[in-house]
A and B are shown apart, each in its own frame.
Chain A
Amino acid sequence: MDASTLPAQTVINGVTFNATPGQRPVLVDGTTTIPGLFQKRCADLGNRTAHREKDFGIWKSYSWSDYWNHAKWIGLALRKLGLQRGEVVSILSEDRKEWAWFDMGIQCVGGIASGVYTTDSASQLSYLINDSDSRFLIVEDEEQLDKYLQIEGEVPSLLNVIILEDEGLHDLDHHRCLMIEELYDIGRQAERDEPGAFDTEIAKANPADTALLIYTSGTTGMPKGAMLSNENIMAGIEAGAHRLSSYETDEQLCFLPLCHILERDVSIYFPLASKSTVNFAESPETVFANLQEVSPATFTAVPRVWEKIYSQVLIMAQEATPLGRIAFGMALKTGMKRASYLVENKPVPGGLNAQFWFWDRLVLRNLRRMLGMDRLRRGGTGAAPISPELLKWYWAIGVPLVEGYGMTETAGIATINTPDENRVGTIGKAVPGIDVRIGQDGEIQVKGLNVFQGYWRNNEKTAETFTGDGWLRTGDVGRMDDDGYVTITGRLKDIIITAGGKNITPAEIESRLKFSHYISDAVIIGDRRKYLTALIMIDQENVEKYAQDHKVPFSNFASLCAAPEVRALIADEVKAVNTEFARVEQIKDFRLIDVLLTAEDDELTATMKLKRGLVEKKHANLIEDMYT
């Protein structure tokens, strides 16, 4: 490339970016593709730690060289086994270092990486493999392998299945399956046969090449594969780096599914630019313990996780000694006062700051240490609405928590708040280089180099997703204030038209309900009905605690939901929410979903949100009950 035609550069925390974001080519340290950036990082950083993973209780480090070598063997081996540029490889595994190794290995030889949720069923897996025309499937262990074996006959395009963990599989003899070590061996041999082939493949990468395929959960119809190019991801990295500080000394914790664009950005692509270290949580169940051990500099999670941490602290505080409780109460009160200034970006009065310093020393600092947030510079939340009160609570205990917004189709990033520029209750301002506007019908629309290429082999859906003048339709309805902060009010397609002809955005009511600690999720019903009703999923932990404290007998989850006291509790919460809405928007009746749903259930998305369509179908009897 001719240096004179390059956009002006600027250095942010040791990494070079285009000074004006949103220009082509999108450069990160002089590279324009993910493989290119990966190659540069591995060459420069060598033995520095890239990843950490726990092995039999001990955190072990894996360097950038390990990252490079394994990705190289993976890439070369897959190529040897028949992977062509532009073909898809599916990864069915929990988060682990190999996920990143495969992601890079696949992309470096021109393949397209596609993640599959470990909670997906065998039939969903079959659909995803066939729709994406995957050539290879990476499975984590015996449990995931069994899904493949069930659908073996339905996926003829698949060449091989690669297994990461051989536990319980020593006697496996299957002509399509091979263990990860065998794959590495093939890769090592390929490297000896053809030295330099990996670098040659990396050099072939173009910004416009599709780098990954992300299937969107799709609350209606079958999932669609969103194609994201190298340039899309690089634009996301660029936009993130211009707004959010990150340093090469930063520690992070990876625990949300890497199939989801949020964790993928935060734990694989952004660290390629920032050089930070990613620690993989052992399992979804150990996140809180791992958080404490790692004590990350930045931590991005979904609202449900932030809510969980909050409830844990409350329970801890209630069970503390009376003196401890008083101290915590005082500290929190001072923190809240200070937070009121902070979230409005007003200077905190000196006296209050001094008070806060005292309580911080005495209580809050210890609390943060207990949570693993003592080094936390910035907490992030996205993928679902979060209560403004909860955000403020985190600011009160000294954790700067900010909300952002993005979707798969925008490479995970569109608008964000930052600790310095924050307006609680909004999703922040458009990130640099990316334009956001509100369409005629109130829809939030996005334009920028981060906007995806289209849906995989589905031009019809792609066309529906763009406006006539080329803006991406997010499907979310919202408004923008004079300073550019965006607020979301609901989903366009979820708009309910009652029998009386009134248009209602259920998301607004639903998120108000969800802000109750006793309600984990809710679905508003009322399309073509006389009045609105709700199906409510209670928060097991908090409602159990309530029942315990108020001597409400229960045995299992169903009997908890059936207890009249619990119904009364939720009725009060519903009543409180109703006061905030106009008469036609008020919930006249509700039912509790009395089965404890898990991620394996169809009604829940991987981020544990209720899927409207399926909930309405599965619980039709509860709904009918409310209208008869």
Chain B
Amino acid sequence: MTEPILKIRNIESFYGPIMAIRGVSLDVHPGRIVSILGANGAGKTTLMKTVSGVMDPEKGTITFDGEDIQGSEPHKVVQKGIVHVPEGREVFPLLTVDENLSLGAYTSPDKAQVERDRELVFSYFPILAERRDQEAGTLSGGQQQMLAIGRGLMANPQIMLLDEPSLGLSPILVQEIFAILKRLNTEQNMTMMLVEQNARAALELAHDGYVMEVGRIVMDGTADELMKSEDIQNFYLGVQEEGARENRRWKRKKTWR
């Protein structure tokens, strides 16, 4: 395989005295979608924030395109081509759709490129073109998520970090957004790192996957391998094991093998 575009090595991140990431190493190869699964509090979002520079790691290195970026300021990280689409959408509610998109291209000096990017966003999310003059706060949840992804695309990134794009969306909208992400990946060769609780959708979309638990990676492999793992099926995909009775409530212990 090619050299990974993003290499994370032995990262440790803290919230005050609390160690949220306890030594994580992972690789993202160009053109691939890597999904990170895990329960609440596993450290997925913290990992994203550490990559995008919102948080600084205590230890470890993050190499992007051959260059160490750990501890860089977030805007420097964006300029290098990493864009973080945060959890919960976080669009600017009082600005219009257009203004939100323009802010995504804030660091770009090339006006013509910005306009090309805007057209690209509109081609993937036609609804945003329709609502371009509407205040972002008045959009539906799904449209806001599209706007957040579109705003990320405006920075013309090499890799997108997507934090729970399915959060709070109806199943049909999740399908729609994930289909667009898939197209972005195949048509634009966009590399993505995706954090998800919706394990099934994430594994169907992704090429590779990692599973995090309390700040550590407990399992990794291609998406197909993960789908086949008994632990993943049981704890993330809701497959019921054959039990002695119906409605078994207890879960066996995870082994991650």
Contact = CB atoms under 8 A, between A and B. Distances in A.
Contacts of A548: 10, 12, 22-23, 59
Contacts of B12: 548
Given A146-B244, A548-B10, A596-B256, 7 more contacts: A142-B248, A146-B250, A149-B245, A167-B249, A171-B247, A553-B25, A559-B220
Given A548-B23, A595-B257, A553 B244 contact: no
B255 interface: yes
A553 B255 contact: no
Interface of A: 141-143, 146, 149-150, 167-168, 171-172, 544, 547-548, 551-559, 595-596, 598, 600
A341 to B, nearest CB: 37
Contact of A142 (B9, B25, B249): B249
A596 B244 contact: no
A340 to B, nearest CB: 35
A539 to B, nearest CB: 15
Interface of B: 9-10, 12, 22-23, 25-26, 59-61, 210, 216-220, 243-245, 247-250, 252-253, 255-257
B210 A168 contact: no
A388 to B, nearest CB: 32
A547 B256 contact: no
The 10 closest A-B pairs by CB, nearest first: A149-B244, A553-B25, A168-B249, A548-B23, A143-B250, A555-B217, A146-B244, A555-B220, A553-B9, A150-B244
A547 B253 contact: no
A464 B83 CA distance: 73
A556 B218 contact: yes
Contacts of B245: 146, 149, 172
A289 B150 CA distance: 48
A548 B253 CA distance: 26
Contacts of B243: 146
Contacts of B10: 547-548, 551-553
A116 to B, nearest CB: 17
B25 A555 contact: yes
A596 B9 contact: no
Grouping DSSP codes into helix (H, G, I), strand (E, B) and loop, the B interface class, with mixed when no group exceeds half, is strand
Interface centre among B23, B216, B219, B250 (most CB of A within 10 A): B23
A143 B249 CA distance: 8
Contacts of A552: 10
B257 A596 contact: yes
Given A555-B26, A555-B210, A556-B220, A600 B253 contact: yes
11 contacts: A141-B250, A146-B245, A168-B249, A171-B247, A548-B23, A553-B10, A554-B23, A555-B219, A556-B218, A557-B218, A596-B257
B97 to A, nearest CB: 40
A566 to B, nearest CB: 13
A121 B220 CA distance: 28
A150 B241 CA distance: 14
Contacts of B25: 553-555
A557 B256 CA distance: 9
A45 to B, nearest CB: 37
Contacts of B22: 548
B12 to A, nearest CB: 7
A146 B59 CA distance: 46
Contact of A551 (B9, B220, B252, B253): B9
Given A146-B244, A595-B257, A596-B255, A556 B249 contact: no
A596 B257 CA distance: 8
B22 to A, nearest CB: 8
Nearest to A148: B244
* Most interface-central of A172, A544, A556, A596 (chain B CB within 10 A): A556
A556 B250 contact: no
A603 to B, nearest CB: 13
B62 to A, nearest CB: 12
Contacts of A172: 245
Nearest to B25: A553
Nearest to B12: A548
Contacts of A555: 25-26, 210, 217, 219-220
Contacts of B26: 555
Nearest to B255: A598
A559 B27 CA distance: 13
Contacts of A551: 9-10, 60-61
Q: Most chain-A Cβ atoms within 10 A of its Cβ — which of B216, B218, B245, B248?
A: B245
A559 to B, nearest CB: 8
Nearest to A168: B249
A167 to B, nearest CB: 7
B93 to A, nearest CB: 39
A553 B248 CA distance: 39
Q: Which of A146, A149, A548, A559 is most buried by chain B, counting CB atoms within 10 A of its CB?
A: A548
Contacts of A544: 23, 216
Contacts of A167: 249
A548 B19 CA distance: 13
Contacts of A557: 218, 256
B257 A547 contact: no
Contacts of B252: 143
A348 to B, nearest CB: 37
Nearest to A552: B10
A620 B257 CA distance: 19
